[in-house]
Amino acid sequence: MSEEKNITSLSDLGEFGLIDRLAANIKIYNKSTGKGIGDDAAVINHGDEETLVSVDILCEGIHFDMTYCPLKHLGYKAAVVNFSDIYAMNGTPTQIVVGMGISSKYSVEAIEEIYRGIRLACDHYHVDLVGGDTTASRSGLFLSITVIGKAKKEDIVYRSGAKPNDLLCVSGDLGAAYTGLLILEREKAAFMEDPNMQPEFAGYDYILERQLKPEARWDIVKRLKDAGVKPTSMIDVSDGLASEVLHLCKESKVGCTVYEERIPMNHKTIQTAKDFNIVPCVAALNGGEDYELLFTVAQSDYEKVKDMEDVRIIGYMTADEGQANLITSDNCQVPIEAQGFKHF
């Protein structure tokens, strides 16, 4: 409208740039606000225990495709990715509120199926669904879930606590959710060409489940606690390893070195990436949606984490602020670059 003003397209600024712009100029009024924008969850003080709050949105056509995403799985995933944000603060999710926008093409039974998935996740993780708002939307479906969790003040782990020489660890394996998505998209394309075809999903169970029905790593949080290890920083892997490593470096004002050969990947993930002519570690670095925990521990905790089940040390933090490097299998050093989900 107004040619005088500078207009920036969303695609120019990107997701993280937009967040930075929006987070500027926000004032804090309440003593109970311990930590605002900038971590996996906000922290609200309530006497002995802190309240953690986080919100995540899933949009049809952006985060999921109704062609291959079963509604119940969608609900389950929408809840679990929120729980993951609270675990990434070393807390326990306790309540969620669910916002839903629905176009008229959906039946009530379809919505109930989504809620069934949300309830299943709540049952599995012992989280209470305490409220929501459901409304019409002009097109498609979106889910906005806000999760509330708790943690003792001294237990909370922020993104900002990593120190030089800390060990960088990750749980489970990476890249599987992304390769699962590649399979789903391939079969969808084939189906679009020939609606009589049968999708070929045999043998891909693991990576498909990682994409469609991820779990949040409460077990890792518990395992670390039981071992007496408090991570110095932590984040969940929602946007890909590269993006999360850079978040930890930025918030902690450190650098890091990651070894490609240490990045845990399932053999099916590796094989599928290769089938699609993708260097496997790129699926781990930029794929996203794994919902594993990426965390740092002090060198003194090395003995406790080195053989910990489902935890892998993949590198270490350095004093070179903002310098995150990958040491490739052939011993080259390449900078790790931000990617994030390019929604815009």
Cα dihedral sign for 340, 259, 231, 324? negative
Q: Which is nearer to a second copy, 18 or 227 (CB)?
A: 18
Instruction: Name which of residues 149 to 188 contact a second copy (CB under 8 A).
Output: 150
Q: How far is Cα 305 from Cα 226, in angstroms, rounded to an integer?
A: 12
Instruction: Please state the closest distance from residue 4 (CB atom) to a second copy, in A.
Output: 12
- DSSP string spanning 194-221? -TTPPP--TT-HHHHHHHHS----HHHH
Q: Which is nearer to a second copy, 44 or 308 (CB)?
A: 44
The answer to whether 48 contacts a second copy (rule: CB under 8 A) is yes
**112, 155, 219, 310: which one binds a second copy (CB under 8 A):** 112
* Cβ atoms of residues 274 and 333 within 8 Å: no
Instruction: Name which of residues 188 to 247 contact a second copy (CB under 8 A).
Output: none
Q: Is 241 helix (H, G, I), strand (E, B) or coil?
A: helix
**67, 131, 152, 299: which one binds a second copy (CB under 8 A):** 131
Q: Which is nearer to a second copy, 54 or 171 (CB)?
A: 54
Q: How far is Cα 97 from Cα 110, in angstroms, rounded to an integer?
A: 19
**84, 86, 104, 179: which one binds a second copy (CB under 8 A):** 104
The answer to whether 107 contacts a second copy (rule: CB under 8 A) is yes
Q: How far is Cα 337 from Cα 54, in angstroms, rounded to an integer?
A: 26
Instruction: Please state the closest distance from residue 295 (CB atom) to a second copy, in A.
Output: 20
Instruction: Please state the closest distance from residue 339 (CB atom) to a second copy, in A.
Output: 15
**4, 109, 226, 307: which one binds a second copy (CB under 8 A):** 109
Q: Strand pairing of 324-327 and 255-259?
A: parallel
The answer to whether 67 contacts a second copy (rule: CB under 8 A) is no
CA angle 30, 32, 35 (to 5 degrees): 95
Q: How far is Cα 315 from Cα 68, in angstroms, rounded to an integer?
A: 36
φ, ψ (nearest 5 deg) of residue 290: -80, -30
The residue assigned the tokens 């599995």 is: 124
**74, 86, 91, 144: which one binds a second copy (CB under 8 A):** 144
The answer to whether 127 contacts a second copy (rule: CB under 8 A) is yes
Q: How far is Cα 328 from Cα 330, in angstroms, rounded to an integer?
A: 5
The answer to whether 128 contacts a second copy (rule: CB under 8 A) is yes
The size of the interface with a second copy (CB under 8 A), counted in residues, is 84
* Cβ atoms of residues 249 and 255 within 8 Å: yes
The answer to whether 78 contacts a second copy (rule: CB under 8 A) is no
> Within its chain, how far is the Cα of 337 from the centroid?
17
Q: Which stretch binds a second copy (CB under 8 A): 9-17, 181-189, 309-317, 324-332?
A: 9-17
Instruction: Name which of residues 16 to 45 contact a second copy (CB under 8 A).
Output: 18-19, 21-22, 25-30, 32-33, 35-37, 41-42, 44
The answer to whether 7 contacts a second copy (rule: CB under 8 A) is yes
Q: Strand pairing of 142-152 and 92-102?
A: antiparallel
Instruction: Please state the closest distance from residue 285 (CB atom) to a second copy, in A.
Output: 21
Instruction: Please state the closest distance from residue 136 (CB atom) to a second copy, in A.
Output: 3
Q: Which stretch binds a second copy (CB under 8 A): 133-141, 153-161, 258-266, 309-317?
A: 133-141
**66, 69, 70, 97: which one binds a second copy (CB under 8 A):** 97
Amino acid of residue 219 = D
**3, 4, 135, 303: which one binds a second copy (CB under 8 A):** 135
Question: What is the Rg, in whole angstroms, of the alpha carbon atoms belonging to the chain?
Answer: 20
φ, ψ (nearest 5 deg) of residue 92: -120, 120
